[in-house]
Amino acid sequence: MPEGREPANNTTHGNIDAESATDKELPASEMQQILLGGNVDVLLQPIVDLRTGEAVGYEALTRGPGGSRLFKPADLFEAALEEGCFHTLESMCRRRALEAKKKSLGPGVQIFVNMDPRLMPCLLGPACPTCGWIRELDLSPGEIVFELTERVFVGGDPIMLRALERCRHQGHRIALDDVGIGYSGMATMVALRPDYIKLDGYLVRGVSNDVYRRNLIKGLASYCNETGIGLVAECIETAEELEILCRIGVTYGQGYFLAPPGPGRPPLRPEASEILRRIRQQP
How many residues bind Ca ion (CB under 5 A)? The answer is 4
DSSP 251-264: -EE-STTT---BSS
Query: 178 CB contacts (<8 Å, ≥6 apart)?
Result: 8, 149, 150, 151, 198, 200
**Smallest distance, Å, CB 235 to Ca ion?**
11
Q: Is 78 in the site for Ca ion (CB under 5 A)?
A: no
CA dihedral (254, 201, 220, 191) positive or negative: negative
Restricted to residues 93-152, the positions that interact with Ca ion (CB under 5 A) are: 114, 147
> Cα 227 to chain center, whole Å?
21
CB closer to Ca ion out of 196 and 257: 196
Cα separation, 261 vs 225, whole angstroms: 27
**Smallest distance, Å, CB 35 to Ca ion?**
22
| Binding segment (CB under 5 A) for Ca ion, from list 2-10, 120-128, 220-228, 252-260 | 2-10
Cα separation, 280 vs 283, whole angstroms: 8
Instruction: Return the residue of 6, 78, 143, 150 that touches Ca ion, per CB under 5 A.
Output: 6
**Smallest distance, Å, CB 182 to Ca ion?**
12
Cα separation, 64 vs 75, whole angstroms: 9
Cα separation, 278 vs 39, whole angstroms: 42
Cα separation, 29 vs 125, whole angstroms: 32
CB closer to Ca ion out of 84 and 194: 194
**Smallest distance, Å, CB 154 to Ca ion?**
18
CB closer to Ca ion out of 163 and 176: 176
Binding letters toward Ca ion, positions 154-193, x by CB under 5 A:
-----------------------x----------------
**Smallest distance, Å, CB 174 to Ca ion?**
12
**Smallest distance, Å, CB 129 to Ca ion?**
21
CB closer to Ca ion out of 78 and 147: 147
Q: Which residues of 24-46 are buried (b: 16+ CB within 10 A; e: fewer)?
A: eebeeebbeebbeeeebebbbbb
**Smallest distance, Å, CB 147 to Ca ion?**
4
The contact set with Ca ion (CB under 5 A) reads 6, 114, 147, 177
